[in-house]
Amino acid sequence: MDVDALQGALRMLFLLDRAGVSPDEGSYAERVGAVAVISAERKLQALHFWMRNPDYLAYELLCCIENRELDGSWLDTAEQLLEGDEPELHRFPMLRHRFGAYEPIDDSFSYLVAAGLALCHRSGTPGQVQRTDLYLLQAGRDAAIGIIADHPEIEWYGERADTVAMVGKTLSGYAAKNRQYRLSEYAETQLGERIQPVADVVRAKIAEMRGSL
Amino acid sequence: MTEGSFLDAVAEKCGHPVEAIASLLAASRVPTADTVGAPHRLRVTRLRFSGQKAGMLTDAIEFDQEFSDGLWGICSSKNDAGKTSILEIMMWALRGAPKRLQDDVRTWLNFVRLEGTVDGVPFDVNFQLDNGFPTGALTCEGDVRPFASEAAFSDTMSQFMMERLGFQSFSLWVEGQGMATHHWPSYSTVLYLPRETNGAIIGDRAGDGVAQRLVQLFVGIRWAQTTSMCQAALRQAEAEETKREADLQAQQQTVRSLAAGSLGTKRTELALTRVRLEALPTGLPTDEVIEAARADWLALITQQGHLNDRFRVAQGNALHAKTQVDRERRRLTNITEAALARRLFHGLNPSRCPRCSTDIGADRKKDERENHACAVCFRELDLDLDAEIDETPISADDADEMQSADDLRRLVDDLDLASSTENRLAEAIAEEVARLSSRVSSAEARVKMYADLTEQVGQRRLLATRVAALEAVVAELENLTTDESAQQLLPEPQDLARLEILRAATTEALRRRSGGFAEVVEAVNAAILSLALRFGFATLQEVKLGLGAQLKLVKGGASTSFSKQTPGEKLRLRIAVVVALLRVAHDLHVGRHPGLLLIDSIGAEETEPGDLGQFLSELGSICSELRIQIFVASARPEVPQYIPEGHLVQAKPDGYMW
């Protein structure tokens, strides 16, 4: 059983559901039945990184608060992301690739496609794919809602995806990566090595921000 | 007459051990056996001297005369003819040092030679003179002893005569001068009776004990040498003891006055120091309390160190357990979630190609159903055809997963329990750490508080020490200034022993000497009286020679003494004493007089020529009787007729002897 790919499929299902945007009227996506779209695979990669690394996600929340994109109440959310067993249990470190955190999403995404829950739309020519957009179908949204109803223990997928959506849904994939680079630990990670946790840095920053609020 | 050992007798008297007595007496050169010996005889057999007169007379000096036993006269008709010089030159050669030789005569001489015998053994003293200073030699039986200075000459003669005549040096304590040791020059005074007399009945010195010693020696009184040496040593020891006491008293007086001087100062200082000490705040911790606080703190921080070590270990254990449980719990979550996802995705028939997202058509689904070829990839499906069509919601794979998930869950529960235990342990130690930490803080605070008091505590210690020291000093000074503090002036034990031994030895020696004196004194007194009468001292009735060399007389029915006699009577008595000693010595075979007498200016004091004639005749017969040699020098014209034939040395035709 390919545990990583299966969990990845779950994460993408929820990311598409919570962070995807409704397709434009009359667009190709609408025509093929998509209910939510994440344009460009790179953006999905970036959002997926936050999904897997709650400490980086918390840091991003702090940045948004500093930039006044989010209000101060989100500090609690950031803190909860670091509290208890959260970082230990729901952290899935990634390898760093040329363009930042990257793991092929194809294996995970193929579960969604084969099951008729999502679609993958590529543009360009074979071997020269310019762009890959990801579509969630109605069956996928139904499945996301249904699985949480049946299995409340995985509700955190939805909550995490909501938070990721808060910090990332307005960003392009490229911009999201840039933000991730800001964390020195992340940038300093050698190519092909596991990205290091930054929970301590984030805790310090939270304390600092609480002090200044 | 037999006597016990002198040392034993002294030991019995003083109670000190014989060894100590022997050692002390040897150190003081006290003979512990009687040393009376047979008399030795000294003779002058020839005297030669030469030189050159200077001044008014410029004649060459040549004198050469041989002598034999008996009475010899050296006579001239006028005074200052050189008679005395002959006797003086003789004495110079015998003593090794001139006695009263006139300085001019001494510078005139360039050569002197005296030949003589001791107990018949010939000896020869000859010396050249350069400006009156001697260079020469003493020769006796091939023993040649050269000398080239006055001191060496004197020493050479002294050594020779002391050896040959059996004399020992003797010591006399002279008040105010200390111990004086006497050698041949003192003994030789018994040979010569110069013109000027000074009150001594023998020798030429009165009052310093020499005459007394000479009388005792020449009478031959037993134990005289021992007594004399004991007395000298005792008087020296007593003088030293007296000085020691005086020094000690002076020292004590000095100490008392110094103590009295500083007592006031020290009392004031003590009072001031007490005031300063009392001015310090009360309740200062003692050194012990401070030290205890420091020790307490040290013990606590040591304990803290150990506890911290324990805490780190417990913390490490807890972390390890937590890491383990987290890892396994994540595995469990992963497995559970993956299983959930699989069931979700597998519960759906594939509707699109996951690669190209193209719909899987009805034909493909039909083919999969009928030919068991995957509708997506056309590979043959691995199906159990005999099994019923899948109606159950859980596949075989799912069952395995559930089984392993259950195992994992139990493992997680176990690990969770272990982690909690480790955590509790670590927390318990952490509480201990916290408790100890507060104890350390308070102990540290106490030490710091004491440290702030260090200066005052140190000052109190300093002042307390100073007060104690001053109290001791004041007490000592008070003690020193009271009379009771005067130390007993007891002699040191060794000094006391020395005094006791010397006193006992002196007492014993005096006792023995008295016995010795009693043996001879009657004979000596009889001899003196008889000789004095023969010498023309007609009124003399009784003579008593004392051990102290005093001569008591009864003359014309009245008691008198030697010093009250006329010069002529004195001379007769002096000669009588010496001759009496010689006689007694001769009769009893004791005494040490060498039997040589030089008498200057005999008859100078005489008024009655008849008396002088009788005196000289008697001297002549005594010389024959006792086989002694006597030289008399005289300017009296009647003297030569009483000198035996051939024994007269007379002046040359010019009136001078040489």
Check residue B323 and give its pLDDT: 86
How many angstroms separate the CA atoms of B328 and A70, rounded? 36
Check residue B214 and give its pLDDT: 81
**Percent of chain B scored above 90 by pLDDT?**
31
Taking an 8 Å cut-off on Cβ atoms, the answer to whether A114 and B330 are in contact is no
* Cβ-based contacts of A152 with chain B (< 8 Å): none
* Cβ-based contacts of B336 with chain A (< 8 Å): 153
Q: Are A53 and A96 in contact (CB under 8 A)?
A: no
Least confident of B360-369, B375-384, B443-452: B375-384
The answer, yes or no, to whether residue B387 has pLDDT greater than 60, is: no
Q: Which residues in B273-326 belong to E strands, given as ranges?
A: none
H/E stretch holding A22 reads: none
Check residue A113 and give its pLDDT: 86
* Cβ-based contacts of A90 with chain B (< 8 Å): 333
pLDDT band at B1 (very low <50, low <70, confident <90, very high): very low
Check residue A104 and give its pLDDT: 64
When pLDDT is averaged across residues B577-587 and rounded to a whole number, the result is 82
The answer, yes or no, to whether residue B643 has pLDDT greater than 50, is: yes
When pLDDT is averaged across residues B594-603 and rounded to a whole number, the result is 86
| pLDDT tens figures, B649-658 | 998 888 888 8
The answer, yes or no, to whether residue B359 has pLDDT greater than 80, is: no
Chain B nearest-CA residue for A11:
B341
Check residue B116 and give its pLDDT: 96
Check residue A180 and give its pLDDT: 65
Taking an 8 Å cut-off on Cβ atoms, the answer to whether A113 and B341 are in contact is no
Best residue of A41, A51, A52, A88 to probe chain B, by most B CBs closer than 10 Å: A88
Q: Which of B335, B354, B397 is opposite residue A114, by nearest beta carbon?
A: B354
How many angstroms separate the CA atoms of B260 and A30, rounded? 128
How many angstroms separate the CA atoms of B10 and B20, rounded? 11
* Cβ-based contacts of B333 with chain A (< 8 Å): 89-90
| pLDDT tens figures, B96-152 | 998 888 888 888 999 999 999 999 999 999 999 987 789 999 999 989 999 999 999
Taking an 8 Å cut-off on Cβ atoms, the answer to whether B354 and A119 are in contact is no
Shortest CA gap B376–chain A (Å): 9
Between the CA of residue B611 and those of B273, B470, B568, B618, B644, what are the distances in Å?
97, 89, 10, 11, 18
Which of the pair, A115 or B492, is modelled with greater confidence?
A115
Whether the CA torsion B527, B528, B530, B531 is positive or negative: it is: positive
What residue has token string 């919570």? Answer: A18
Least confident of A40-44, A51-55, B186-190, B321-325: A40-44
Shortest CA gap B420–chain A (Å): 14
Taking an 8 Å cut-off on Cβ atoms, the answer to whether A89 and B330 are in contact is yes
Chain A nearest-CA residue for B345:
A115
* Cβ-based contacts of A154 with chain B (< 8 Å): 337, 340
ipTM attached to this prediction: 0.77
- Averaged pLDDT of chain B: 84
| pLDDT tens figures, B223-269 | 888 888 898 888 888 888 888 888 888 888 888 888 888 888 999 99
Taking an 8 Å cut-off on Cβ atoms, the answer to whether A115 and B348 are in contact is yes
- DSSP state, A95? B
Give per-residue burial for A181-201: e unless 16+ CB within 10 Å, then b: eebeebeebeeeeebebbbeb
The answer, yes or no, to whether residue B557 has pLDDT greater than 60, is: yes
Chain B nearest-CA residue for A108:
B354
Taking an 8 Å cut-off on Cβ atoms, the answer to whether B352 and A119 are in contact is yes
The angle, 0 to 180 degrees and rounded to 10, between the axes of the packed helices A138-150 and A155-168 is 130
Which of the pair, B559 or B587, is modelled with greater confidence?
B559
How many angstroms separate the CA atoms of B306 and A204, rounded? 31
3-state secondary structure of A98: coil
When pLDDT is averaged across residues B78-99 and rounded to a whole number, the result is 90
Q: Are B643 and B621 in contact (CB under 8 A)?
A: no
Shortest CA gap A66–chain B (Å): 33
* Cβ-based contacts of B340 with chain A (< 8 Å): 10, 147, 151, 154
Check residue A187 and give its pLDDT: 55
Check residue B566 and give its pLDDT: 82
Size of interface A-B (CB pairs under 8 A): 74
Q: Which of A90, A114, A147 is opposite residue B352, by nearest beta carbon?
A: A114
* Cβ-based contacts of B351 with chain A (< 8 Å): 114-116
Which stretches of chain A drop beneath a pLDDT of 50? 98-99
Q: Are B87 and B649 in contact (CB under 8 A)?
A: no
3-state secondary structure of B241: helix
Least confident of A87-101, B161-175, B372-386: A87-101
Shortest CA gap B452–chain A (Å): 39
Least confident of B102-106, B175-179, B312-316: B175-179
Contact residues, chain A to chain B, C-beta under 8 Å: 1-3, 6-7, 9-10, 85, 88-90, 109-117, 119-121, 143, 147, 151, 153-154
Best residue of A17, A90, A106, A110 to probe chain B, by most B CBs closer than 10 Å: A110
Taking an 8 Å cut-off on Cβ atoms, the answer to whether A89 and B353 are in contact is no
Chain A nearest-CA residue for B376:
A114
Q: Are B439 and B446 in contact (CB under 8 A)?
A: no
Which of the pair, B487 or A15, is modelled with greater confidence?
A15
Q: What are the residue ranges of helices labelled H in B96-209?
A: 103-108, 150-165, 184-187
pLDDT band at B440 (very low <50, low <70, confident <90, very high): very high
Check residue A106 and give its pLDDT: 74
When pLDDT is averaged across residues B527-544 and rounded to a whole number, the result is 87
